[in-house]
Amino acid sequence: MWGGFLGKGKMRGKGLVVVSILAMSLLVGCHPTPRSEARKTVKVAILPEYSLELMAAKYMDLINYLSKETGYRIEYVSSLSYTNYLSTLESSRADVGFQNALVYQTLVKTRGAYPLCQAIGLDGSRTNRGVIITHKGSGIDSIYGLKNKRVMVASKKAVSGYLAQIADCAAQGIDPDRDLKIIIGTRQDEVVRKVLRRDVDAGFVREGVLQAVGRVTDVSDVRIIHYTRPYPNWVVAAFKETNPEIAAKVKGALLRLNEETLESRTILQLMGLQGFAESQDSDYQEVREAAARLGLPL
């Protein structure tokens, strides 16, 4: 149900964005339905890759579906950026988080996170790639052209929007700290727009971001100059304080999205996914090892 999608209309921690459900419904062109006060509230946090508008369009149907399938009143905990996500998740005491594998590693340490399931891409893979993008008129046509250039990233906590690219740069003898002028943004759609406006020379984003941004912005002037190797997809995780019954119901509902129904296809298409798969902590070992090699803090 829509009652729990965005909270109760007040600030509840640094970086926490809580907007009334009426405002969100107007934003995405829907109308709220009455909420049941008797139902238990379950808080779900999602790492903000995009602006509030794009996040709503991508995940609103999922939140509604989880409310219906679990019987809980699902409350979407929204944060302003990658930077605020961890503090927002902590201050809100979210029950479930959906985030990339690098942020998940931090949550293992800070909140005893454990995986419920992993996202499956449209190609059926449990991995995704990063890309390096430039404006078509930038004159940069390879990874070697990045030296001494302004390169924007949404966060150094991004897997396919930072870790993947700097791993490839390091393999080619490019030191990200010495040879690149890294500019930290807030979201991956912001990186695309800054590249389009030529405010920066290049950007690191996840491969699927261009498709998502392309729904609302003309990205025809963006050029992909490099694809990284694949890394594990995003993970849905619960925490040591999460009620096991809540974790089990959310996991079951996500796995049922794999069923061939119109509702499932609509929800998954909006998220750019084929479904969800059973997961275990060892699925993300590759990210831990890459972060250690590159000296990235977890």
Query: Amino acid letter at 93?
Result: R
**91 and 220 belong to one structural domain:** no
Q: How confident is the model at residue 195 (pLDDT cuts 50, 70, 90)?
A: very high
Question: What's the pLDDT score for residue 297?
Answer: 85
**153 and 46 belong to one structural domain:** no
**7 and 46 belong to one structural domain:** yes
Question: What's the pLDDT score for residue 267?
Answer: 97
Q: Which residue has the higher pLDDT, 97 or 38?
A: 97
Question: What's the pLDDT score for residue 171?
Answer: 93
Question: What's the pLDDT score for residue 38?
Answer: 67
DSSP string, 66-110: HHHHHSSEEEEEEESSHHHHHHHHHHHT-SEEEE-HHHHHHHHHH
* Backbone dihedral angles phi then psi of residue 159, each to the nearest 5 degrees: -85, -65
Enter the pTM of the model. 0.85
Strand-strand pairing, 150-153 and 181-184: parallel
**117 and 252 belong to one structural domain:** yes
Residue 151, pLDDT above cutoff 50:
yes
| Lowest-pLDDT choice from 48-52, 96-100, 128-132, 196-200 | 48-52
Q: What is the CATH number of the domain that holds 160?
A: 3.40.190.10
**Can you give the C-alpha Rg of the chain in angstroms?**
19
The residue among 229, 244, 261 that closes a domain is 229
Query: Amino acid letter at 162?
Result: Y
Question: What's the pLDDT score for residue 59?
Answer: 96
Rounded mean pLDDT of 187-207? Answer: 96
Q: How is residue 2 annotated by DSSP?
A: G
Boundaries of domain holding 175: 130-229
pLDDT tens sequence across 210-266: 988 998 899 999 999 999 999 999 999 999 999 999 999 999 999 999 988 999 999
